[in-house]
Structure 1
Amino acid sequence: MEIKPLKLNVNAGKDAAPATEVAKRKQAANAVEPIEDAWRRIYASKLSDSDRQKLNEVKAAMEDGRLARDPSDCVNKAGKPKKFSKAEALRLWKTVQAQTREEKLRKMVEETPDNYWLITDEKRLAEFVTLLENEEEIVFDVETTGVDVWNDYIVGHVITAIKADVHAYIPTRHKTDRPQLNRDIVNEALRPFYEDPTVGKLAHNAKFDIHMLDREGIKLRGLTWDTQEAMRLLNENEPSFALKNLVTKYLRIESSTYGDLFGKIGFDEVDDLEIALAYAAKDGDVTLKLRNFQRAHLAKMPEVLRYYETVEVPLIGVVQQMETTGLHIDLDYAEEYGRELKDGLDRLYDELIAELGDVNINSPAQLKPALERVTGESLASTDAKKVLKPLAKKYPVVKKLLEYKDSFKLYSTYINALPELIDQKTGKLYTNFNPNGAKTGRFSSGGTGVNLQNQPKKARKLFVAPKGYAILGGDWSQQEYRCLAYFTQDPKLVDNYFRGDDLYASIAAEVFGKPIEECGDGSVYRKQAKVIVLAVAYGGGANMLKDAIGVEKHEAQKFLDSFFERFPVVKEWVESNQAFVKKHGFVWMDHLQRKRRLPDAKDRGAKGHYSAVFTQSTNARVQGSAAIQTKATMIALQELCDRKTAEGRGKWRLWCVVHDEALLLVPDTLTQQDVKDFEDVMVNTYVFGNIPNKTDIEISRRWGEGLKIKEFFSGKVSRDDYPNADDYEKQKRIVGEGWQGKGRD
């Protein structure tokens, strides 16, 4: 067919100059310096890999006549000929890029398969709906104005009818003169299929699409596969989980990224709907092909496939609902606390300058010599964790500097910045939770929102429950160490959890040879024992331990040796992990449900990498298995929220998950039975074999200022529970802030 000129609202760059003009420019340029010499000079300069690739493309385009210098670049202000430069060549690359983009788009349209349907009228839509009525599973995707789920909007729907082998694109809000269907008509036509749980749905990065449909009033049900999350189980070390990169790599289907084709514009600005069809319908097509590829490979690992389908896939909808709940910020408290922090920062700054001299504290080049002069120590760097923290006990000025740095980060990153992220329409703060943010499968959060996983305890006070609600929180007591006891079956660890003893005090008494009475809460022995167990569980060794407790490496190694001497079964298990990863290049998490691939462990030539991944084998098993427990429990917690809401107990919602802590937003009229139901889910959903779970529960109005269950329901604080007078007074204040009588027996 004849292809008309493609219209696209992008800067396509400058057209190639006519042949006569090209010749004139070449002649003028060569009079100053032959172009071949210019290229040799440019290539002889220091170039990044990216710049070298761009220069190669520009040189090729100039040599085959598709590109020439701009006349204005050939002469200087005086009108004299000017040499060809690297900067000019890189400017020309934008023109090459635009030419390449236009050619790719043209080719995409020319090669659009016959089973890609562009649906722009109600008759064609009705025909497609008839096809969907016979489908058991469909692919879905939405095209949008951008990637902000709270402010962007849908401009078209991609639906693949799998049995019918039709990949459709239904535009609704493109900026074009071409006819397209009204969004309400399309929404109502597709709603029955989106919301039918018996029709399976598969997508890539489904959480985004579920969010966007939710904002249109459509509740997606029946999700069966997400190719992005499936790939995280097949290879968590992928450099990119973008759909186009994955299908190019694994399916050998050449696919350009959105940025390569359209730059930074929203899809609504693609005004040629033939281009929109060629791009969007292909998303549905390749997502289906990638799903089939992934399912075949996961089928070879039955337990991984079962875990993916029963935990990772259902979790996507749970996380989407949790993100939608949003977070409330106490702006008055933020302003008040911000003033206090600022005053403290100014005081600390003045004191530091008085001791260190007039230096820029945020400049390592100025700070390092000033610290060396004051302390008399030779410093490798000004790294807070590795260098400064071990010196803080010895030098008050270093301790003060670390306090300044912590307060500055708290003020600039949280207290001062968080209020600016509040959504103006809803008054809430939103964040993005990534269920597989770490390669072990552990959660991360952030994106365009706030990173709740890294929230300092002082900043948590900014987050509050809205009026009439409370934050019901539970954290697994020693989650990862119970996992360690389960895997190792060390008799001392197992017996400790059966007896319900204080693990850290017990270990401290063993390692340091002290009476248990001297190793209780607040003792230096207990604190050090806690870090020792952390180093063991994370495979960190003496280097991690010395930095954490501020001792020399040889002393840290003595602590570890003492631990392993008294817990030989743990030592044997750690060594077995290292032997396994050395042989296989990966380790299994609980019940063979997922792998952590550490290929460098098999490569002794990897030097530092070999050593690092060797020790990661233990960390991966413990942290990854704990993450599985968290995820399985989150699904059960969402079911609890749905049940309580359906029973008329008010609106229950998942609020957030931070490491080993799960928090719900619940009506502040909750009962003790409600709390028991919450505790039951936390401790019984996923148990590590014979090791009992334990959860510490608090009820809060302000995150980080929680009440124990008996305090919340009685409105009283027992002096016996708080030996420290300041803690006692703090709890009395919290109880006195309107909590009495809220809970019901």
Structure 2
Amino acid sequence: MKKGDHLFLVDGSGYIFRAYHALPPLTRKSDGLPVGAVSGFCNMLWKLLRDARNTDVGIVPTHFAVIFDYSSKTFRNELFTEYKANRTAPPDDLIPQFGLIRQATRAFDLPCIEKEGFEADDLIATYCRLACEAGGDTTIISSDKDLMQLVGPSVQMYDPMKDKQIGIAEVIEKWGVPPEKMIDLQALTGDSIDNVPGVPGIGPKTAAQLLEEFGDLDTLLARAGEIKQNKRRETILANAANARISRELVKLRNDVPLEEGLESLQLHPANGPRLISYLKAMEFTSLMRRVAETTGTDASAVEAGTVTVDGFESAHGPDLDVAPKAAGATTDTPAQDGKTPALLARRRAEAAAAQKLDTSAYRTVSEAQALEDLVAEAYATGVVGLDIQMTSIDPMLAEITGIALGTGAGQASYIPVGHKAQASDLLSDGATPGQMRAADVLAALQPLLSDRSVLKVGHNLKNEWLLLSRHGITLEAFDDVMLMSYVLDAGSGAHTLDALADRWLKHSALTIKELLGSGRTGIGFDRLPLERATAAAGEQADMALRLWAVLKPRLVAQGLVSIYERLERPLIPALARMESRGISIDRQMLSRLSGELAQKAGALEDDIYKAAGGPFTIGSPKQLGDILFGTLGLPGGAKTKTGQWSTSAQVLEELAAEGHDLPRKIVDWRQLTKLKSTYTDALPGYVHPETRRVHTSYSLASTSTGRLSSTEPNLQNIPIRTAEGRKIRTAFVAEDGNKLISADYSQIELRILAHVADIPQLKAAFANGDDIHAITASEMFGVPVEGMPREVRSRAKAINFGIVYGISAFGLANQLSIPREEAGAYIKRYFERFPGIRDYMDTTKAFCREHGYVETIFGRRAHYPDIRASNPSIRANSERAAINAPIQGSAADIIRRAMVRMDDALVAAGLPDVRMLLQVHDELIFEAREEDVEAAMPVIRTVMENAAMPAIALSVPLQVDARAAHNWDEAH
């Protein structure tokens, strides 16, 4: 290399993750191999090279290389063992793409450089030094702040995603210090991503101010006693050692011994046939055509090359933060004989069904040495099944009865800690002999449970996560087979552990009734003999581990890894934290409301008895049916299979809509008594004895569309259209000095409908912030928006929301109290004005009939096998559900994405005390100190409104309304 030459260094590892996260999942059509990151990488690299070789664009490189991280372990781990220890393993669908991307780099005829023991940044720093010494210039293709310390007169950076050059001035503008002080700045601020400690509470602005005042880190630490702010001075003095070690961690090595010198990095002309051969093998047709055109190559004359696909779970090679398998451990990978993810999944399922479970082979661990050996075995295996037996299904109240770990198929151990047997068998402290203390067991297991290098596999792990967090343990690196099954098969089967074992393992698991009995003779798990408990708990851990082996490759084969990794698994800790926080209620308010509801219900009872001609048991469907259709002879009566008259809510609503007084009063009475029994009377019973708050429990896999549901208590079904329902919300209150913040998506499902159905009028209305219901009414009825009668807008509103749920003419007629013919005419006119909606419905039904499922905009699947049913009624119900699922499911996915990001966003904004408490369909409820409310609401709105990005760029804006008050109703 000589003066005037220019070196381009691409941060290859950064390119990989940018490509993966910027693009939706993509699989190779011929075999289902995940290739989304490879495709993105190739397109980004091709554009960069095309522009770089274009003399009209600007800088033309003479030398070029792509630099990768060799592995997660470098010399920095010897300096600080916790360096990058908080990083999670890469998504499973990305693992096989690392090797493919290296092959892609070579297909581009570019040097592919990595070095064991060093990071890509160190190699980049070394090449920069060598180029500078040779008199050349360097451009680093990256936006990573860690590389900004290298920027200088002959070194600049380029961010291709933002098309932005980063020189000395840009570094100063961004960070407030020149490049030569970036090391000291990062030493002070630390880096949560790489687990660089830094100095707590010192952000970039403060660090820049301190360095401007004191010059450099050494001077700052030597003169820290001169800092005027007490807290800042004490923090820096207390963390001086952390700052020094952080400096060593962020400082890049520029003396890495290199195998490839600068001369080996010379950029050659594009080799069209070689690159096309690779692209053809990867089935990247569009890019292949562009390469062929640019290089003047006849693509049809080039044969597809051969690419090597690394294994999946065993691909512990470069770039992976995953512990390698123990020596001698067997691998089951598709790489050995070229098998695809789909074939691997099929083979795993067949093997799982053929391999029987033997519960008698499990071990009971009751001594410290045996526990130590079990932990060592778990580390050697790298993947363990996990099951925690509790004294209650409520993890906020439960104590640990025992913990089971599975270290392989048929290999499970149970550690009892809280069993109690018959009085004659009890120790003096009331425990069964042969157990260790729970505190000692948790202390021994805590490093394993929190270690990111060992994967923990379980079923419905949210409860375990919450229970362990109560004991100060954060469960890290986990997979949940319930959520895997939910992502794969929502709507086509149950996701309980027993159901999954029966379906995939052909194993009938021990039932609760078989284990514990039922009724008066039933016992708790803590009363089981240890041998029996070992068999039961070990079976749970063993089944979870075997199911994981079956379901994991199915996620890859079906292109659903990103749904699991981004929408499901990250939600476990987010929901567990919400559940642990709970919400305060005003008991006195509930008591008053209960009295009011009782009085109103009593008054209605008198009216009901008068209308019925005498007293009867209102809650008895039989007596009510006899009076309505027998005594009073009302029309429309239909009998159930038991021979009784149907008195369902729909039947009563229809009779009330026809003007019959008694059914209307029955409906009102049912609503009042349900509110009283379900909420005002019951909620005080859910108050936790220690926290004095109500802690609901969220179910992640209970709906086919991805919506969450809550139980014990159910806080998602409190009616808000009635005054009584809204009064119940006033009993949910903030603690003294705090406020509740309600952040609610505005008309999110209509916005998604406008996006997916591509309705110009609706999209324009949302973009302009217009009244969507008034716009709809104007389109349908030809009425000007200005001065529009309320009833006209109301009809349009009913149709707007009804269409999303596939409302029929009959349903709309009941809702608007109009003749069915008129309602049918409204719906017909709606489709005429917005033909895209009818097209969407027809296309969605056709897709579902062909595939058996529909998808949200993010790719979540909801299965509706009955859409092919011969029964017209069943088929019609499935069609309506299939139409609604992509809309409702997309809204559910968006709020899930917001919830996953929310806590980190609030912490990053300096608002760690703002706590997300509840999720109710399209609404999130927070509690914040009064002084934090104004700062919190913009952060919450931003996270929620941008939740779809970067995966999906909606063609309509999302809008979030956020308000704060002392109770939930006032905040809503």
**Contact 2:384–2:455, Cα closer than 8 Å, also in 1:** yes
- Structure 2 counterpart SS, 1:256: coil
Whichever residue aligns with residue 598 of structure 1, its letter is: Y
Q: Tell me which of 374, 396, 404 is aligned to 1:128.
A: 374
Q: Which residue of 1 aligns with 2:566?
A: 310
* TM-fit CA distance, 1:400: 4.2
Aligned pair 1:559/2:854, yes or no? Answer: no
- Verify the 8 A CA contact 2:657 2:814 in the aligned structure 1: no
In the TM superposition, what is the alpha-carbon distance from 1:166 to its structure 2 partner? 4.7
Give 1:466's aligned amino acid: E
- Aligned counterparts of 2:359 and 2:875: Cα–Cα separation in 1: 47
Letter in 2 for 1:600: D
Q: Is the 8 A contact 2:359 2:538 kept in 1?
A: no
Distance in 2 (CA, whole Å) between partners of 1:376 and 1:623 is 41
Q: Which residue of 2 aligns with 1:284?
A: 541
Letter in 2 for 1:560: I
* SS of residue in 1 equivalent to 2:786: helix
Contact 2:458 2:480 in 1 (8 A): yes
Q: 2:793 corresponds to which residue?
A: 526
Which residue in 2 is equivalent to 1:243?
A: 497
Structure 2 residue identity aligned to 1:488: A
Aligned AA for 1:295? K
User: How has the CA–CA distance of structure 1 residues 109 and 240 changed in structure 2, closer, same or farther, with 3 Å as cutoff?
Assistant: closer
Q: Aligned with 2:931: secondary structure?
A: coil
**Cα distance in structure 1, aligned partners of 2:438 and 2:624:** 59
Determine if contact 2:482/2:701 at 8 Å carries over to the other structure.
Answer: no
1:385 deviates by: 3.7
Structure 1 residues 439-464: Cα deviation after superposition (integer angstroms, max 9, x where no partner): 11111111x32343445333212211
> Do the aligned residues in 1 keep the contact of 2:359 with 2:539 (CA within 8 Å)?
no
CA distances 1:138-165 after superposition (whole Å, capped 9, x unpaired) = 3221122342323331121112345x98
Aligned partner of 1:143 in structure 2 is 389
* Aligned counterparts of 1:283 and 1:309: Cα–Cα separation in 2: 23
Report SS of the residue matched to 1:290. Answer: helix
- Answering whether residue 851 of structure 2 is matched by residue 596 of structure 1, we say no
- Pairing partner for 1:160 from 374, 392, 406: 406
User: What is the aligned partner in structure 2 of residue 172 from structure 1?
Assistant: 417
Structure ranking higher in helix proportion: 1
CA contact (8 A) 1:390 1:551 kept: no
Q: Measure, in 2, the Cα distance between the counterparts of 1:382 and 1:122.
A: 62
- The Cα shift of 1:375 comes to 8.4
Quick one: distance in 1 between partners of 2:371 and 2:552? Answer: 31
Q: Which of 216, 228, 234 is equivalent to 2:488?
A: 234
> Are 1:449 and 2:686 counterparts?
no
* Structure 1 residue 228, shift from structure 2 partner: 0.9
2:786 matches 1:550:
no
The answer (yes or no) to whether the contact 1:245–1:257 under 8 Å persists in 2 is no
Q: Does the C-alpha gap of structure 1 residues 194 and 515 become closer, same or farther in structure 2, counting only changes over 3 Å?
A: same
Matching of residues 195-274 of structure 1 within 5 Å: 195-223=450-478, 225-263=479-517, 264-271=522-529, 273-274=530-531
Q: State whether residues 933 and 964 of structure 2, in contact with CA within 8 Å, keep that contact through their aligned partners in structure 1.
A: no
Letter in 1 for 2:490: E
Instruction: State the shift of 1:121 in Å.
Output: 0.9
> Equivalences for 1:1-400 in 2 at 5 Å?
112-113=360-361, 116-161=362-407, 166-175=411-420, 177-223=432-478, 225-263=479-517, 264-271=522-529, 273-302=530-559, 304-360=560-616, 361-368=618-625, 377-380=634-637, 382-388=647-653, 391-392=656-657, 394-395=659-660, 398-400=663-665
Distance in 1 between the 2:880 and 2:504 partners? 31
Preserved contact between residue 469 and residue 668 of structure 1 (Cα < 8 Å): yes
Structure 1: state its 5+ residue gaps: 1-107, 708-745
CA shift, 1:289, in A, is 1.0
Q: CA offsets, 1:510-534, max 9 Å, x none?
A: 22222212447xx122222122122
The residue identity in structure 1 corresponding to 2:360 is T
In percent, how many aligned pairs have the same letter? 28
- 2: CA distance, partners of 1:229 / 1:692: 30
**Structure 1 residues 372 and 596: alpha-carbon distance in aligned structure 2, compared to 1, 3 A threshold:** same
Q: What is the aligned partner in structure 2 of residue 436 from structure 1?
A: 701
The match for 1:674 is: 936
Superimposed CA distance per residue, residues 341-364 of structure 1 (whole angstroms, 9 cap, x where no aligned partner): 222222232233333321323344
In the TM superposition, residue 320 of structure 1 has moved relative to its aligned partner by 1.0
Question: 1:517 pairs with 782, 786, 807, which one?
Answer: 786
Q: Whole-Å Cα distance in 1 between the matches of residues 783 and 404 of structure 2?
A: 67
**Which amino acid is the alignment partner of residue 417 of structure 1?**
A
State the shift of 1:368 in Å: 4.9
Query: Structure 1 residues 408 and 280, CA, compared in 2 at 3 Å: closer, same or farther?
Result: closer
Q: Distance in 2 between matches of 1:600 and 1:373?
A: 37
> Is the Cα contact below 8 Å between 2:383 and 2:454 reproduced in 1?
yes
CA contact (8 A) 1:641 1:654 kept: no
In the TM superposition, 1:631-670 aligns within 5 A as: 631-643=896-908, 647=910, 649=911, 651-670=913-932
Contact 2:755–2:955 (CA<8 Å) still a contact in 1? yes
Q: 1:253 to 1:354 in 2, by over 3 A?
A: closer
Letter in 1 for 2:502: T
Tell me how far apart the structure 1 counterparts of residues 843 and 967 of structure 2 sit (CA, whole Å): 45
* C-alpha distance in structure 2 between counterparts of 1:244 and 1:375, whole Å: 49
Normalization by structure 2: what TM-score?
A: 0.57
- Distance in 1, matches of 2:942 and 2:569, equals 24
C-alpha distance in 2 between matches for 1:495 and 1:284: 53
Q: CA shift at 1:661, angstroms?
A: 0.7
1:305-361 CA-partner distances (Å, limit 9, x unpaired): 111012200101111111111121111111222222222222232233333321323
Q: CA deviation at 1:641?
A: 3.9
SS at match of 2:548: helix
SS at match of 2:570: helix
Structure 1 equivalent of residue 742 of structure 2: 473
What amino acid does structure 1 have at the position aligned with 2:948? Y
Q: Which stretch shows the higher mean deviation, 239-248 or 383-392? A: 383-392
Per-residue deviation, residues 200-223 of structure 1 (Å, max 9, x unmatched)? 322111012112222333222222
For structure 2, the 5+ residue unaligned runs are 1-355, 422-431, 638-645, 720-724
Distance 1:250 1:543 in 2: 43
**SS class of match (1:696):** strand
TM-superposition CA deviations, 1:523-569 (whole Å, max 9, x none) = 12222212212221112322332232233332221110010011111
Query: In structure 2, what is the Cα distance between the partners aligned to 1:472 and 1:702?
Result: 9
Query: Aligned equivalents of 1:112 and 1:296: distance in 2?
Result: 29
Residue identity matched to 1:445: S
The equivalent position to 2:753 in structure 1, one of 474, 479, 484, is 484
Q: Flag the 1:255–1:354 CA change in 2: closer, same or farther, 3 A.
A: closer
- Whether the 8 Å contact between 1:475 and 1:662 is mirrored in structure 2 is yes
Tell me if the contact between 2:385 and 2:407 (Cα under 8 Å) persists in the aligned partners: yes
Q: Give the aligned residue type for 2:714.
A: V
Structure 1 residue matching 2:418: 3-state secondary structure: coil
1:464 paired residue number: 733
Q: How far is the alpha carbon of 1:479 from its aligned partner?
A: 0.6
Instruction: Indicate the larger mover: 240-249 or 531-540.
Output: 240-249
CA contact (8 A) 1:444 1:453 kept: no
- Residue 373 and residue 250 in structure 1: after superposition, are their counterparts in 2 closer, same or farther (change >3 A)? closer
| Counterparts of 1:392 and 1:580, CA distance in 2 | 37
Q: 1:398 to 1:519 in 2, by over 3 A?
A: farther
